[in-house]
């Protein structure tokens, strides 16, 4: 090929790429069980990655604004988030089941059945939120104390913890309604829901934390107020789309009637999903407990480091969600080989993306953490976390995509057992041994986390290639 032909083809490729981006963001209806797999992956992945980027903004906005209040306030947010990871585990586990069941029914051209799944999802979200609030609100200070919080952290952070646990319905509805949209292939609108929720949180955060204008100065508690308002309005926006008749799933009052077999299917599939993420997030809580023994600076540094990694990692989660939707819809359409090819294409894209992210985390960790804090001890701990854990990001890309592929097929039990092996049997003992007996401190925890995630990726790849997930019925 001549230099002239290369130069001529470059604008054409660029135009095609931009056209693909515009099409993916427009949210036009597309049959993901036919045509180019690479195109299908990108049509779903672009809005899903942007959606998860918006979810990751939630993870860093509160820390960004609260950091001005000092290390105790950041520690309160970090310890509360460690507890909330159990709620996120429930929300993500339930959303796995919702996405898998909706995707199967859309792939099989059964929109009424998909709407029934959406209706039962709302009942599950509300019921779970009532239980979380009943247990979390009265015991917020005790929860922080149990997490190893120091006295000043408990005094300043109890209000934040109370409101975040009491407002859990906003988290659950936002997660689960967006899971309905993703399973249906309405990824572009799920993205818009998160954009709205984040825009509100970004604007209201400093207003309630620092008392800007007519807003009350609530300190760290204000971050919880802003977050709950943002998530709540985002959930209402998602509900509006599901009920206005223009989406792939149309929710009506009749779908809110309790339907035993649909509810049972949801609970059955979600049980494995919830347990899967409870295992992973309970491991995170234990790691936070180990780190809390080294003081508020270590907790704050680890919290900031994890928020930055979450910000960079969640778009990769969005790409893996695209794989899950494609697996579900293609299995519903009885195209198992196309489902498998979709996973490998998504995995390749994810490795490229997280490989680029890894370079930034490893080469510029101090610069990234300095965005949130200038305290030397906090900065050192946060940079160490980014540098150590960031080294494994390309391999983590394999693990997250394949695990979501299992989930998209409705096979939530396989990732559960993989998590037991990698987190409970490997990560926790190794983290304790490296941090305490071998005296590596928090760095030992970071090393253990990197090793566990790498082993998970290898095990998931080996099991996925066996193909038993293709036979899963949901």
Instruction: Label residue 135 by pLDDT band (50, 70, 90).
Output: confident
Q: Return the top range by mean pLDDT from 29-43, 54-68, 429-443.
A: 429-443
What span, in angstroms and rounded, lies between the C-alpha atoms of 361 and 353?
13
CB-based contacts of 133: which residues, under 8 Å, 6+ apart? 165, 166, 167, 168, 169
Given a cut of 60, whether residue 6 has pLDDT beyond it is: no
Packed helices 442-464 and 296-332: angle between N→C axes, nearest 10 degrees:
10
Closest CA to 389 of 315, 306, 461: 306
What span, in angstroms and rounded, lies between the C-alpha atoms of 61 and 76?
15
Given a cut of 80, whether residue 267 has pLDDT beyond it is: yes
pLDDT of residue 370: 93
Task: Say if CB 78 and CB 303 are below 8 A apart.
Answer: yes
Task: Say if CB 105 and CB 410 are below 8 A apart.
Answer: no
Instruction: Label residue 81 by pLDDT band (50, 70, 90).
Output: confident
Instruction: Give 186-204 pLDDT, tens digit per residue.
Output: 989 999 998 899 889 889 9
Q: Which of 256-265, 304-313, 425-434 has the lowest mean pLDDT?
A: 304-313
DSSP tally for the chain: helices H, then strands E:
18, 0
CA 175 to chain centre: 9
CB-based contacts of 284: which residues, under 8 Å, 6+ apart? 82, 85
pLDDT of residue 86: 73
Given a cut of 80, whether residue 52 has pLDDT beyond it is: no
What span, in angstroms and rounded, lies between the C-alpha atoms of 379 and 469?
44
Instruction: Label residue 250 by pLDDT band (50, 70, 90).
Output: very high
CB-based contacts of 389: which residues, under 8 Å, 6+ apart? 305, 309, 361, 446, 449, 450, 453
CA 325 to chain centre: 15
Where does residue 406 rank: exposed (0-12), middle (13-18), buried (19+ CB within 10 A)? buried
pLDDT of residue 331: 94
What span, in angstroms and rounded, lies between the C-alpha atoms of 205 and 224?
8
What span, in angstroms and rounded, lies between the C-alpha atoms of 28 and 31?
10
Task: Say if CB 132 and CB 107 are below 8 A apart.
Answer: no
Q: Tokens in use for 6?
A: 């290369």
What span, in angstroms and rounded, lies between the C-alpha atoms of 274 and 165?
18
Closest CA to 464 of 341, 350, 281: 341
Strands (E), 208-285: none
| Domain spans, the chain | 32-471
Q: How far apart are the first and last CA of the chain?
A: 50
Residue 27 phi/psi, 5° resolution?
Answer: 75, 25
Where does residue 38 rank: exposed (0-12), middle (13-18), buried (19+ CB within 10 A)? middle
Q: Provide the 8-state DSSP code for 253.
A: G
Summarize the confidence of residues 318-323 as an average pLDDT.
90
Instruction: Give 164-189 pLDDT, tens digit per residue.
Output: 889 889 989 999 999 999 999 998 99
Q: Which of 198-212, 221-235, 253-267, 278-292 has the lowest mean pLDDT?
A: 278-292
CA 92 to chain centre: 7
CB-based contacts of 6: which residues, under 8 Å, 6+ apart? none
Half-sphere exposure of 352 (CA within 13 A, CB side): 7
Instruction: Give 219-235 pLDDT, tens digit per residue.
Output: 888 888 999 999 999 99
Supply the Cα-derived Rg of the chain in whole angstroms: 22
CA 408 to chain centre: 15
What span, in angstroms and rounded, lies between the C-alpha atoms of 158 and 224?
11
Instruction: Label residue 72 by pLDDT band (50, 70, 90).
Output: confident
How high is the mean pLDDT of the chain?
A: 88
What span, in angstroms and rounded, lies between the C-alpha atoms of 184 and 307?
29
């Amino acid at each position: 090929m001549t230099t002239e032909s290369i130069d001529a083809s470059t604008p054409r490729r660029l135009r095609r790429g931009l056209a693909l981006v515009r099409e993916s963001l427009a949210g036009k209806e597309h049959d993901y069980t036919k045509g180019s797999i690479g195109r299908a992956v990108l049509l779903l992945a672009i809005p899903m990655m942007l959606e998860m980027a918006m979810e990751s903004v939630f993870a860093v906005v509160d820390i960004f604004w609260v950091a001005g209040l000092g290390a105790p306030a950041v520690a309160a947010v970090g310890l509360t988030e460690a507890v909330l990871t159990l709620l996120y585990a429930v929300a993500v586990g339930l959303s796995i089941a919702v996405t898998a069941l909706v995707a199967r029914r859309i792939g099989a051209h059964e929109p009424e059945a998909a709407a029934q799944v959406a209706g039962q999802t709302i009942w599950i979200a509300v019921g779970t939120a009532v239980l979380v609030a009943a247990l979390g609100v009265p015991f917020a200070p005790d929860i922080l104390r149990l997490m190893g919080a120091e006295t000043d952290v408990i005094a300043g952070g109890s209000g934040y913890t109370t409101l975040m646990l009491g407002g859990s319905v906003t988290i659950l509805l936002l997660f689960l309604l967006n899971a309905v949209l993703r399973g249906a292939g309405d990824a572009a609108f799920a993205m818009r829901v998160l954009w709205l929720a984040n825009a509100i949180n970004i604007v209201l955060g400093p207003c309630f934390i620092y008392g800007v204008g007519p807003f009350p100065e609530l300190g760290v508690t204000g971050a919880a107020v802003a977050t709950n308002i943002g998530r709540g309005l985002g959930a209402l926006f998602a509900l509006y789309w599901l009920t206005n008749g223009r989406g792939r799933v149309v929710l009506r009052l009749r779908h809110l009637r309790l339907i035993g077999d649909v509810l049972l299917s949801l609970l059955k599939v979600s049980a494995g999903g919830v347990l899967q993420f409870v295992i992973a997030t309970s491991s995170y809580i234990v790691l936070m407990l180990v780190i809390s023994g080294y003081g508020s600076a270590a907790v704050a540094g680890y919290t900031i480091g994890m928020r930055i990694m979450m910000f960079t990692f969640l778009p990769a989660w969005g790409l893996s969600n695209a794989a899950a939707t494609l697996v579900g819809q293609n299995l519903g359409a009885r195209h198992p080989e196309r489902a498998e090819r979709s996973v490998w294409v998504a995995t390749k894209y994810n490795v490229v993306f997280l490989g680029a992210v890894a370079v930034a985390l490893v080469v510029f960790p101090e610069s990234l953490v300095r965005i949130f804090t200038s305290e030397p001890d906090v900065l050192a701990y946060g940079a160490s976390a980014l540098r150590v854990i960031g080294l494994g990001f390309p391999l983590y890309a394999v693990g997250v995509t394949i695990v979501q592929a299992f989930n998209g097929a409705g096979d939530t039990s396989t990732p559960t057992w993989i998590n037991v092996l990698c987190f409970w049997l490997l990560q926790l003992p190794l983290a304790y041994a490296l941090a305490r007996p071998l005296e590596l401190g928090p760095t030992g925890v970071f090393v253990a986390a990197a090793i566990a995630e790498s082993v998970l990726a290898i095990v998931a790849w080996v099991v996925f290639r066996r193909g038993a997930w293709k036979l899963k019925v949901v």
